[in-house]
Structure 1
Amino acid sequence: MAQKIQLKGITWGHSRGLLPMVATAQRYEELHPDVKIIWKKRTLQEFADKSIEQLAAEYDLLVIDHPWTGHAAAKKVIVPFDDYLDRTYLEDQRLNSVGKSYVSYNFENKQWALPIDAATPVAASRPDLLSALGLALPHTFDDVLALADQGRVAFSLLPIDVLMSFYMFCCSLGEAPCEKEEEVISPLIGKQALSLFKALADRVDTRFYKKNPFMVFEDMVNNDKIAYCPFAYGYSNYARDGYARKLLHFHDLVTLHNQEPMISTLGGAGLAISAHSAHVEMAMDYAQFVGSPRVQATLYVDNGGQPGHLKAWQDAEVNRRTSNFFMNTLPTLERAFLRPRYFGHMHFQDHAGDVVVDYLKNGGEEQVVLDKLNEMYKQSRLMEERHG
């Protein structure tokens, strides 16, 4: 018997990250008996942090965070899909992008990953708890502060999530961060963003400085204290009957002072192929299978996945089974801010959140915080220049 072609993949260790990959691999193996696909998992923090060079040396299939795109393209550790997949397929992916998910993996006019998973910070609630307490769902930032005064609000205060939320406050105040060479954000907007952020963080229990988004949701479903999360990367799993002790509903973000809904920072995950793989074409074929409209709206989402194809987000059956998670949060995805992806940005992303966390915990002068961020930012821009 001929030896099977083996592909190894790495994803992150949550039901949303692992189970749809295992399910699609199992079905692909059934359709291609000469192929074996093995998926392993890593923590959410490792998903954001571990060098893509290290992963590409060990695995054929990589589920990646899009800010790695510029770095990976520059290092040539993953291969562009344009060189292997039919243009019609990629055009369908582009036209059916959820927000900027597709373009988030496009760098130097090449597509370095398929957007198999789409996410951004959205609001989450315990509708049963709000009803039992006689509390209304917040619609404005002031409503969130009032609910937080009652001890009913939480969100992730880990450094990476805090940085993404700082970006969100900046965007929601009318200025996108990291668009200038010398500063992260203008002093006027930066100070306002930090002040608003701290006003809310001061009203949240300190245990959430140790919880990532899905740990926040676990806290919400396993206890009866937190009734509302104003922003955290959405996980449709918690909107499905039977997944957790209690059901969460997900919503668009509240409005800020300008009466417009807040603008969050795009997340999600892409499926990339290692340049070191001995079976690039087979890996590409599997990736094409995973990202296809039919698989995304059925097998992928059926097994806990949060698809990246727009048709799946608009599918009536998909929404019926997820308490309308996808239709309720699609507007949030469509206006989400696309993070910088230049070569040195991962250095900034890895460290800047600590500076903002320190301010939220201990206070201080907002300008001092901005000065520290600007220094890190300039260092990251120098890394790009040196590499270029």
Structure 2
Amino acid sequence: MTRYRGLTWDHPRGRRPLEQTAAEWRERGVDVVWDAQPLEGFEAHPIEDLAARYDLVVLDHPHLGDAVAAGALQPVGHLLGSEAFVGPSVASYTLGGELWALPLDAATQVSARTASRVPVAPRTWGEVASLAEDGGVALSLAGPHALLSLFSAAAALGHPPVDEPGAPWLDDAGLNGALDLLARVHRAALPGYAELNPIAMLERVADRADPLSYVPLIYGYVTFSRGPDPVTFGDAPRASADSPPGSTIGGTGVAVSARTVIDDDLATYLRWLVSDQTQRRVIPVRSGQPASSAAWRDPLVDAAASGFYSATLDTIEHATVRPRAAGYPAAQQRASAAVRDALDGRITTQALRERLRTETLASVERTRS
């Protein structure tokens, strides 16, 4: 029996469904051993390095440009059946006409709140700013999330990020408008949360002794919707009451190293992971967050998650895809630091525009190299 090594991310949502089903598949003749890396590694570690050591890699779509340029992955579109997936899940893993990862988990930036203190979530960015003035609000800005929040705010204004090598990620109207929306909230936001990743921020929202009670844009984690102190998730803010929410999709797909032979047994296992039946009846009960439309629209799955899926479905269906040029993940980190500088008043909007343009061009140079 061939042994395959897989790498996922170290959170119950990313780890438990894979680890807990591995034993079942070992009995069927498919031996997959899953390791896990921290969230920060998942967001930043080069996929080409991981693909040299692992057969299967659970990844986020911004890494595709680097991985494809390095020849680290192999196309997996032939493994996908007739299943439908929420939002731009499939599109986010499609590059150069090929599908490079199977949608395993779907997530996007949504709002999170303590329902006892914020009974009704703000619908618009104007309402978010008003709530921030009353206290209890903070933005998710650590790591890449400042830039992703800028992208989402721009998308709400009708100016989503551009996934085209050489083109500015945001046009001037999107950048100016989005920065204004975020800055208005940030000026009144609670201090002390800027260094926290989304998981740590959601832990604070769930902690009734912590003053944080609302985050307008943060990646949704179904695991926080359960338990004695659940977090209540809802749609991301809109520019106006009648416009769509603005959000930047995340989630994960499972990719296959270019050096790995996909035999019939491995193909069967991978198809099983993303099948509607697995996504509806296996992934959710093992702390996972499915990607299939069938699972997100399943009343039983939704009820078990305290309405997490129905409350955020509109947001993920309108979510946008990040740039995926080679070099983008590293550029994303540097650009996010520039967004934090702008929100804190250390640089001007024009300086931010120039720094974002610099990072765009850095991605293009990496793509050509």
TM beyond 0.5: yes
| Counterpart code for 1:206 | P
Q: Residues 286 and 148 of structure 1: is their aligned pair in 2 closer, same or farther, counting only changes over 3 Å?
A: same
CA contact (8 A) 2:60 2:252 kept: yes
Q: Residues 338 and 205 of structure 1: is their aligned pair in 2 closer, same or farther, counting only changes over 3 Å?
A: same
CA distance in 2, matches of 1:149, 1:68: 37
The answer to which of 302-311 and 34-43 deviates more is 34-43
Pick the aligned partner of 2:215 from 229, 233, 239.
Answer: 229
CA distance in 2, matches of 1:179, 1:9: 29
CA contact (8 A) 2:124 2:241 kept: no
CA contact (8 A) 1:154 1:216 kept: no
CA distance in 2, matches of 1:333, 1:272: 22
Q: Residues 156 and 110 of structure 1: is their aligned pair in 2 closer, same or farther, counting only changes over 3 Å?
A: same
CA contact (8 A) 1:273 1:280 kept: no
Pick the aligned partner of 1:370 from 350, 353, 361.
Answer: 353
| Counterpart code for 1:302 | V
| Counterpart code for 1:73 | V
The count of aligned residue pairs is 367
Pick the aligned partner of 2:331 from 337, 344, 348.
Answer: 348
Deviation for aligned residue 1:279 = 5.8
Aligned to 1:20: 17
| Counterpart code for 1:228 | Y
Deviation for aligned residue 1:61 = 1.2
Deviation for aligned residue 1:227 = 2.1
Deviation for aligned residue 1:91 = 4.2
- Partner SS, residue 82 of structure 2: helix
| Unmatched tracts of structure 1, length 5 or more | none
Q: How does 1:1-388 map to 2 (within 5 A)?
A: 4-30=1-27, 32=28, 34-83=29-78, 85=79, 90-93=80-83, 96-130=84-118, 136-178=120-162, 181-224=166-209, 225-240=211-226, 242=227, 245-257=228-240, 259-277=242-260, 281-384=264-367, 386-387=368-369
CA contact (8 A) 2:108 2:248 kept: yes
Deviation for aligned residue 1:7 = 1.5
CA contact (8 A) 2:136 2:214 kept: yes
Structure (1 or 2) with the greater helix fraction: 1
CA distance in 1, matches of 2:257, 2:287: 25
Q: Deviations over 1:162-193 (max 9, x none)?
A: 11111112212222233573533233331222
The answer to which of 276-285 and 113-122 deviates more is 276-285
Deviation for aligned residue 1:358 = 1.4
CA contact (8 A) 1:155 1:213 kept: no
- Partner SS, residue 329 of structure 1: helix
| Unmatched tracts of structure 2, length 5 or more | none
CA distance in 1, matches of 2:191, 2:116: 25
- TM-score, with length taken from structure 2: 0.93
- Partner SS, residue 210 of structure 1: coil
Q: Deviations over 1:265-305 (max 9, x none)?
A: 11110011112235655433322111111111111110111
Matched-pair identity in %: 32
- Partner SS, residue 35 of structure 2: strand
CA contact (8 A) 2:245 2:314 kept: no
- Partner SS, residue 130 of structure 2: helix
Q: Deviations over 1:295-322 (max 9, x none)?
A: 1111111011100111011111101101
CA distance in 2, matches of 1:226, 1:261: 26
CA distance in 2, matches of 1:192, 1:186: 10
CA distance in 1, matches of 2:242, 2:198: 26
- TM-score, with length taken from structure 1: 0.89
Q: Deviations over 1:7-58 (max 9, x none)?
A: 111111111111111122222223x1x3332111111110011111111111
Q: Residues 372 and 36 of structure 1: is their aligned pair in 2 closer, same or farther, counting only changes over 3 Å?
A: same
Q: Deviations over 1:143-165 (max 9, x none)?
A: 21222122211232113011111
CA distance in 2, matches of 1:125, 1:298: 28
CA distance in 1, matches of 2:153, 2:132: 18
| Counterpart code for 1:120 | T
CA distance in 2, matches of 1:314, 1:257: 26
CA contact (8 A) 2:66 2:325 kept: yes
CA contact (8 A) 1:273 1:283 kept: no
CA contact (8 A) 1:153 1:228 kept: yes
CA contact (8 A) 1:24 1:290 kept: no
The answer to which of 265-274 and 63-72 deviates more is 63-72
CA contact (8 A) 1:222 1:246 kept: yes
CA distance in 2, matches of 1:81, 1:97: 16
